[in-house]
Amino acid sequence: MWHKLQELAQHPAAIFLKKLIGDPIQLYAVFLVTTVMYYYHDTMTWFYTIISVLISWLMMRFYDFVARHKWIGPLTYLVYMFAGLEIVGMMTNWGQQDYPISFMVWFLTPQSVVTFSAWYTASIYLLMIGFLTSAVYYFSKIRYRMSMQFLIMLIPLSLYAKEGIHMPAILVIILLASYFLLMIYCRQINNSETVRYIPSFHGSMSIAVYVLAFSIIAAIVPKPEISADREFIDNAMSYSTWSDVLMNAISMFTDTTDNSVSTSNNTRTIFYVSSPEALRLRTQTYSYYQSDDSWTVNRDYDYPDQAYPSGSMTYAPRSGLQAILDAASQNAEFAEKYHLSDFAGITLPEQELRTVSICPLYYPMQIMPSPSRTAYASVQSTSPLTISVTGTLYGNNIRDWNLMQYYSDTYARYSAVQPILQRLSGTDYPALLEEAEEVLHDSAPEQAALLQTIRQECSDAYTYLDTAQKQDMQSEIIRNLAEQITSGLTSDFDKAKAIETYFLDAGFVYDQAFQKPAGSNAEYFLTESKTGVCYEYATAMVMLCRSLGLPARYVQGYNLNQMYAGNFRGRECNYVIKARDAHAFPEVYISGYGWMSFEPTVPSMEMLEDAEAENQNVIRWGYAMLVFALLAGIAYFSMPHIREAFFRKRILRMQAFDSAAAIFRRMRLLEHLPESTTVRELANHSARFYPEPMLFDHLDILLYSHTAVSGSVTAAQLAGFYQDWCEKRTQFLKEQAQLRKQQAKANRKKSKIHA
């Protein structure tokens, strides 16, 4: 079998393949490029790996040329470098023509929040393969510096580390294993070294066993838990602050968004927060939903068009409801007309004006996360604060602690409030507000003014709905599903609540790894996949509500739910917002309350931390390699016995001459004797444990004069002699090993006596 493998290894195709992928230096460069390209374009990693093998092989040959020629080589390399940069520049310019942001912004921004760009990705590929292959070549063949190779390996690792993204286990193992393989292979590659490594089968096997053992130990052995606070270390990596700056900048460069929201695993802190409760914080709204599964903005609605108001940004919903009930208690006709007689005279529970303080970790910030019903804000900004119609706060270089007061949406769920909201939804709400305003005009002018504000907000909400529906994707399927979900319900709040809980009851799944088919949208999510992230859930709820005539808008922001106990910039805080907390949710206009946020996104059924899940993946790969190593070890140690048993059966089926030739070769190999060894030399060598001459007499006759006496002995007899030779050889080797142990023991005892 080994002879056949050796013959196969000499085949021209095998020789070419070895030249193509048999260089550890080239393979290390290929794996570095693969790791980088997985970060930028994971679905095509296999393609980048294959093409990198070919390109890196050509580059290594080019670098050999450069290294051999003292003057023309460096000049050629400079031409190659400038030509490569020129090509990259051309490709980035082509990419800029149909992409909303520049190449550098795209390059520095987390890939989870930008869309794929073919030209930009190709530019990254050319830059990386050019730089990494030349750096790896130089620090292995020109200047042997494994410390520099280690720093080069940190380049792709830093891409993942700065965004808190876990590299796939297989890439981690391959990259580290290829690094150690390179370290062993290149140890004596420099011609100036006095000791040279001569490749051999046993040497290669030793290297392979070492690399495999390292990979298994690194994957399986439990890692120590780090209990120290790493926040300072993470924040000290100043380059990573670009991510958060650019995430804010991108929202100002583009009027569209897609399902890239909330798919980042970035664990870095963006804001420190002091809040009385967990919240959904808004940063940006989008008005129009397109059939290509993207949202676009209404420039007059979603972006600021006025300076920050000197008074309150919104009203207390409790005050509006109480004004309506007071109007019902003052005017029985009004109460009877709108079925509010049984609520007349009721005093609603107070609605607390709560305070949340938010401090950005890095500057500058342009959009300040805020609760849905923010009533007042004191934002530290270097420019006057502006506000959109939706309540989004915009500033310039927002810094330090920013205070906001808000009314919690939990008030709408009070048992005293729910019946009133249900009753108001069954009426002509705008007309009710107008008549209630007239009732209170003289007796309670402040309440009448509040009702006028609410009536204007209601009118704006339905005008917004009409405008949005003219631009939205229209779907009869979504409309029918919305009617089915809310069948028998009349209250705006009850309908919105039914849609919110529908996703939890109908078997929907939260899965960040799910890849939607090209061209799919909210209709596909609702009827077929039922799998997605917050983007799909928020989009679906907005579209379901709008199809029922409920004003609704798509909101992006953050989930405030990660507890934290500590002091930051002189103030106690109890929450932190990390980049991975980016979130999308809907806001729905509820008659009697106003705009209210909802949470349709179902919780993940696998709530394990990403790091722990990736840890388990690495361990699984480690166990897989361990099983492979055990099987290989079993095969290695059992192979001689298997081959010996197979050999003994095979010689029984041969003619005497062929059997004698096979036995002679076998005995010579077992004793590690050269091919020039004669039968008599083998007999003399074996005399230590096998003095009987009969076997060697038969071999001598058969091998050197077999035509005359070939019938003097049979193959079975020769096999018997050979088996006897093997048994006595084995016994002799055991005795010799025992003698060596006894001698070593005696030597140790003698050394102790002399000591």
pLDDT at 245: 41
- Measured CA to CA, the distance from residue 650 to residue 664 in angstroms comes to 14
Long-range residue pairs from 445-449, CB within 8 A, at least 24 positions apart, any chain: 447/319, 447/322, 447/323, 447/326, 447/327, 448/323
Q: Name the CA dihedral angle for 486, 491, 493, 498, rounded to a multiple of 10 degrees.
A: -20
- Measured CA to CA, the distance from residue 171 to residue 108 in angstroms comes to 22
Phi, psi of 367, deg, nearest 5: -120, 130
- Given a cut of 70, is residue 499 above it in pLDDT? yes
- Given a cut of 90, is residue 517 above it in pLDDT? no
pLDDT at 625: 67
Element containing residue 285 per DSSP (H, E): strand 279-286
Phi, psi of 380, deg, nearest 5: -85, 105
- Given a cut of 90, is residue 357 above it in pLDDT? yes
Provide the pLDDT confidence category of residue 250 given band limits of 50, 70 and 90.
very low
Provide the pLDDT confidence category of residue 607 given band limits of 50, 70 and 90.
very low
- Measured CA to CA, the distance from residue 251 to residue 529 in angstroms comes to 29
The token pair that represents 324 in the structure block: 């309506």
309: preceding bond cis by omega (within 30 degrees):
no
Per the CB < 8 A criterion, the answer to whether 683 and 696 are in contact is yes
- Measured CA to CA, the distance from residue 548 to residue 551 in angstroms comes to 9
HSE, side-chain direction, 13 A CA sphere, residue 354: 18
The token pair that represents 347 in the structure block: 């005093």
Mean pLDDT of 548-562: 91
Per the CB < 8 A criterion, the answer to whether 559 and 482 are in contact is no
pLDDT at 551: 94
- Given a cut of 60, is residue 671 above it in pLDDT? yes
Name the nearest CA neighbour of 106 among 237, 264, 253, 303.
Answer: 253
> 687: Cβ–Cβ under 8 A, 6 or more apart, which residues?
none
- Measured CA to CA, the distance from residue 181 to residue 626 in angstroms comes to 18
- Given a cut of 70, is residue 163 above it in pLDDT? no
- Measured CA to CA, the distance from residue 439 to residue 434 in angstroms comes to 9
Which amino acid, one-letter code, is at 14? A
pLDDT at 205: 58
pLDDT at 211: 60
3-state secondary structure 153-165: HHHHHHHHHHCCC
Q: What is the pLDDT of residues 271-327, one digit of tens each?
A: 999 999 889 999 889 999 988 888 988 888 888 777 776 667 888 999 999 999 999
> 511: Cβ–Cβ under 8 A, 6 or more apart, which residues?
531, 532, 533, 604
- Measured CA to CA, the distance from residue 222 to residue 242 in angstroms comes to 34
Mapped onto helix, strand or coil, the DSSP state of residue 755 is coil
pLDDT at 232: 39
- Given a cut of 60, is residue 6 above it in pLDDT? no
pLDDT at 214: 58
Per the CB < 8 A criterion, the answer to whether 32 and 59 are in contact is no
Q: What is the pLDDT of residues 11-69, one digit of tens each?
A: 676 666 777 776 788 888 888 888 888 887 777 888 888 898 899 889 888 988 888 88
Q: What is the pLDDT of residues 426-461, one digit of tens each?
A: 678 899 999 999 999 889 999 999 999 999 999 999
In the 8-state DSSP scheme, what is residue 403?
Answer: E
Provide the pLDDT confidence category of residue 617 given band limits of 50, 70 and 90.
low
- Given a cut of 60, is residue 605 above it in pLDDT? no
Name the nearest CA neighbour of 542 among 255, 293, 173, 328.
Answer: 293
Instruction: Map out the domains of the chain as residue ranges.
Output: 12-193, 243-607, 653-754
pLDDT at 11: 65
Provide the pLDDT confidence category of residue 247 given band limits of 50, 70 and 90.
very low
Question: Average model confidence (pLDDT) for the chain?
Answer: 80
- Measured CA to CA, the distance from residue 626 to residue 182 in angstroms comes to 22
Classify the C-alpha dihedral 618-622-623-624 as positive or negative.
positive
- Measured CA to CA, the distance from residue 515 to residue 208 in angstroms comes to 37
The token pair that represents 524 in the structure block: 């596909």
Inter-CA distances, 261 with 292, 609, 610, Å: 16, 19, 17
- Given a cut of 90, is residue 516 above it in pLDDT? no
pLDDT at 613: 54
pLDDT at 355: 93
Mean pLDDT of 680-709: 81
Name the nearest CA neighbour of 301 among 280, 311, 286.
Answer: 286
Mean pLDDT of 402-406: 90
The token pair that represents 296 in the structure block: 């676009």
pLDDT at 180: 76
Name the nearest CA neighbour of 552 among 564, 537, 565, 567.
Answer: 537
pTM (2 d.p.): 0.55
Which residue(s) pair with 576 in the sheet? 272, 562
461/628: higher pLDDT:
461
Per the CB < 8 A criterion, the answer to whether 56 and 22 are in contact is no
Q: What is the pLDDT of residues 452-489, one digit of tens each?
A: 999 999 999 999 999 999 988 888 999 999 999 999 88
Provide the pLDDT confidence category of residue 174 given band limits of 50, 70 and 90.
confident
3-state secondary structure 67-80: HHCCCHHHHHHHHH
Q: Which residues of 577-614 are buried (b: 16+ CB within 10 A; e: fewer)?
A: bbbbbbbbbbbbbbbbbbbbbbbbbbeeeeeeeeeeeb
Give the range among 99-103, 317-321, 390-394, 537-541 with minimum mean pLDDT: 99-103
Q: What is the pLDDT of residues 71-108, one digit of tens each?
A: 898 898 888 888 988 898 888 888 887 776 677 767 76
Phi, psi of 199, deg, nearest 5: -60, 140
- Measured CA to CA, the distance from residue 281 to residue 55 in angstroms comes to 48
Percent of the chain at pLDDT > 90 equals: 19
184/586: higher pLDDT:
586
Mapped onto helix, strand or coil, the DSSP state of residue 196 is coil
pLDDT at 459: 92
